[in-house]
Structure 1
Amino acid sequence: MGNLGWGKKDKSPTDGFSDKEVGKTCVGCEAGQEPLSDMDLDGVIMGRKDGACAPLTKKNEALTRATIQGAKEQAFTSNSNCCKGKHPPDGVADKTIVYVNGIRTQQGGHCQTLQDVADTTCAKVIGVYNATRNSVADLWQAKQDKSWIKKHAADAEKDAPDEEPRMSPKGRNPAVDTLRDMIYAEASSDQEMEIFAHSQGGAITSVALYEAEKQLAGAGMEENMSKVSVTSMGSAAQQWPDGPEYTHLIHARDFTPVKLGLRKSAKKDASRAGKGAKVVRFVGEPGGGSFKEMEPGDDTGGTSFTKYHDVDQTYLKAQSQFNNGCRGKS
């Protein structure tokens, strides 16, 4: 099965970590050990270490505030003149973005997007890696993520504080576990957290937010969800919890958000996009020209699995254009 567009497929034969075949790396492994596969790194925090993309945590590692802070200090940054002009002298904005990728994304693709986000936003950028196994397994996992969104949304509507909160099984999706723990650790410490999420990464983020919200509510700190801001890009998530600050970017011809996520119509945004969310539906061609926000009467045409779904050529380009970012500027 080919790339269904729910992620970013490597275009080169190497993975961005080493000269080994795509999907394997010896970054962080001990002498004599086998190279780490994509699945070995499922759910780890990724960043830049010793000048190269590298895992900053181990799979299933229990996260602490110190671990998260250490990861932030090994983030991707931009050295573009555009960023230096906006944020002198070093070009780095005083914030960290956590990026969560979609399906069919190998290590090198994830790392490249971390740099792309840094070059677009001028922020420090680390990632929660959502590893790929194969198309069928990735799609099945994404379907499970969406099922858990539905369960959590139903729980939120019931508002039954005396019941034990339902949580997705630990290890079902390691990226959910990591992101949930990061959100809880940051929000419970009264720290702001910014997330960029693409495709299945949006569904992962929605599940993690619902579960972190339940944990914060149990600690009497539910209002701290307002410390979290999310930019979703072509997201597969059909619903989001209230509390965080949201911007949802949806290309009107991108199959994933139009058919699986918040849809093309804005009719249900108030109940599904998160309270106060900004939902930007837009049109335009990824290959050239510019995007514009969709207006009534725009002939958007049919959807495509892949053409309008690329995180860099469609969504980061649109995010930069709508926010006067530095993407594509030297």
Structure 2
Amino acid sequence: MTSIDRSRSTFSPAAPAARPPVEKAALGPLGKVVEAVKDSFLDIPSNIQMGLDVFQSAHLKELERLFGKDSKPDRMFDGQLVGTQGQTFPPDTPLNRIPGVTPRDNPEPKETILYVNGIMTPVEGQLREMQSIADTSGAKVLGIHNATQGLTADLAQCVTDKLDKGTNPAVDTLADTLYAELKAGRDVSVMGYSQGGLITARALSDVQNRLRVEDGLSQADTEKLMSHLKVETFGAASTRYPDGPQYVHYINEADAVPTLTGLGGSVDPLAFFKDAGKGAVVYRFTDGNFNPISNHMLDTLYMSHRVPFEQARTGRF
């Protein structure tokens, strides 16, 4: 496996609340240090407020179903295909019949991206992320919905996904879709975020097994066919990806999800257990503050580091 690792420090703390200016010119060296420490403490309330604002805007309704309360409406869409305005379609709907989310400045993009969301995200939350992806990539975006059943159930499902046990409708839909598109001779672009990256890895393994077992392809022919898949992950929770697809993995080293449950940071004593996929490009960067939620956000953080796929594959970030 070859990989291109890049690390750069872009530490960007949340903008602090307005404070009266301090005349620092008259301060000595020790005074300036004391003032800097004091400023860092004064920033804490704004960081906390930022976390509350982000959490409220994205997941406030999910707090009410922490243990699965009222999650039935979203479960109805588990594994469904998602199009513009949050419309949902059965998993076997041909992709060319689904009106996707398009960039605000381009209603007729040439490329289509399949997007799988992470935990604690109802359809309306995935739709917002799809718009961000469309605006950033310039592509039409179709969603495969990973429904939420509350925090505890979602985390439990992550465990079973890691163990490749149990059923997950989003895994089934993505695997069926990718298999059908490859067999039809079409290239496919996929994005997986957080648990969506774990779902993507599991679905790709399923596709690989079908090609090997059901179609009787050799490992080399399987990888050649799967090379028509362009796969991007962002803050993903998977540690292993099957060989074949073209991969770009984005990992914020200030994000606990990929560093603790995914491919890991630049320094990782368990790296020998992990596999980004043959030829994968792994882009590690550091961006964020003391807010673990904002450090993991797709639209406000990861998308700001995303570059066009072919550019990323050459390591130019």
Specify if TM > 0.5.
yes
Match of 1:105 in 2: 121
How many Å apart are 1:79 and its aligned residue?
2.8
1:313 aligned onto 2:308: no
The answer (yes or no) to whether the contact 2:196–2:236 under 8 Å persists in 1 is yes
Paired with 2:113 and 2:272, the residues of 1 have a C-alpha distance of: 25
Residue 67 of structure 1 aligns with an amino acid whose one-letter code is P
The answer (yes or no) to whether the contact 1:252–1:283 under 8 Å persists in 2 is yes
The answer (yes or no) to whether the contact 2:116–2:192 under 8 Å persists in 1 is yes
The answer (yes or no) to whether the contact 2:55–2:293 under 8 Å persists in 1 is no
1:67 aligned onto 2:83: no
Match of 1:11 in 2: 57
1:44 aligned onto 2:71: no
Residue 76 of structure 1 aligns with an amino acid whose one-letter code is V
Match of 1:160 in 2: none
Residue 86 of structure 2 aligns with an amino acid whose one-letter code is C
Q: Partner of 1:230: helix, strand, or coil?
A: strand
Q: Which runs of 5+ in 2 are unaligned?
A: 1-50, 66-71, 313-317
How many Å apart are 1:41 and its aligned residue?
0.3
The answer (yes or no) to whether the contact 2:252–2:286 under 8 Å persists in 1 is yes
**What does 1:244-283 align with in structure 2 at a 5 Å threshold?**
244-265=245-266, 268=271, 272-283=275-286
Residue 275 of structure 2 aligns with an amino acid whose one-letter code is R
The answer (yes or no) to whether the contact 1:10–1:105 under 8 Å persists in 2 is no
Distance change in 2, residues 1:123/1:255 (3 Å): same
**Deviation by residue 1:120-145 (Cα, 9 ceiling, x = unmatched):** 11101000000000100000001111
The answer (yes or no) to whether the contact 2:103–2:135 under 8 Å persists in 1 is yes
Distance change in 2, residues 1:186/1:321 (3 Å): closer
The answer (yes or no) to whether the contact 2:86–2:123 under 8 Å persists in 1 is no
**Deviation by residue 1:53-111 (Cα, 9 ceiling, x = unmatched):** 21022xxx5x2xx623312xx1111132xxx5xxxxx5x43210000000000111101
Give structure 1 regions of 4+ aligned residues with deviation exceeding 6 angstroms: 12-15, 321-325
How many Å apart are 1:318 and its aligned residue?
1.1
Paired with 2:260 and 2:182, the residues of 1 have a C-alpha distance of: 32
User: Which has the bigger relative contact order, CA under 8 A and spacing at least 6?
Assistant: 2
Paired with 1:207 and 1:322, the residues of 2 have a C-alpha distance of: 22
After superposition, the CA RMSD in angstroms is 3.1
TM-score (norm 1): 0.67
More off after superposition, 274-283 vs 222-231: 222-231
Residue 77 of structure 2 aligns with an amino acid whose one-letter code is L
Paired with 1:130 and 1:194, the residues of 2 have a C-alpha distance of: 18
**What does 1:85-124 align with in structure 2 at a 5 Å threshold?**
92-124=108-140
Total equivalences in the alignment? 245
Paired with 1:194 and 1:46, the residues of 2 have a C-alpha distance of: 16
Q: Partner of 2:266: helix, strand, or coil?
A: coil
**What does 1:125-204 align with in structure 2 at a 5 Å threshold?**
125-148=141-164, 169=166, 172-204=167-199
Distance change in 2, residues 1:12/1:213 (3 Å): closer
The answer (yes or no) to whether the contact 2:113–2:188 under 8 Å persists in 1 is yes
Match of 1:54 in 2: 87
How many Å apart are 1:14 and its aligned residue?
10
Counterpart pick for 1:213 among 203, 208, 213: 208
Paired with 1:94 and 1:191, the residues of 2 have a C-alpha distance of: 14
Residue 208 of structure 1 aligns with an amino acid whose one-letter code is A
How many Å apart are 1:324 and its aligned residue?
8.9
The answer (yes or no) to whether the contact 1:262–1:269 under 8 Å persists in 2 is no
The answer (yes or no) to whether the contact 2:240–2:277 under 8 Å persists in 1 is yes
**Deviation by residue 1:17-54 (Cα, 9 ceiling, x = unmatched):** xxxxx99xxxxxxxxxxxx8100000100002xxx221
Paired with 2:286 and 2:297, the residues of 1 have a C-alpha distance of: 14
Q: Partner of 1:37: helix, strand, or coil?
A: helix
How many Å apart are 1:317 and its aligned residue?
1.2
Rg larger for: 2
How many Å apart are 1:251 and its aligned residue?
0.2
Residue 89 of structure 2 aligns with an amino acid whose one-letter code is L
The answer (yes or no) to whether the contact 1:9–1:104 under 8 Å persists in 2 is no
Distance change in 2, residues 1:136/1:182 (3 Å): same
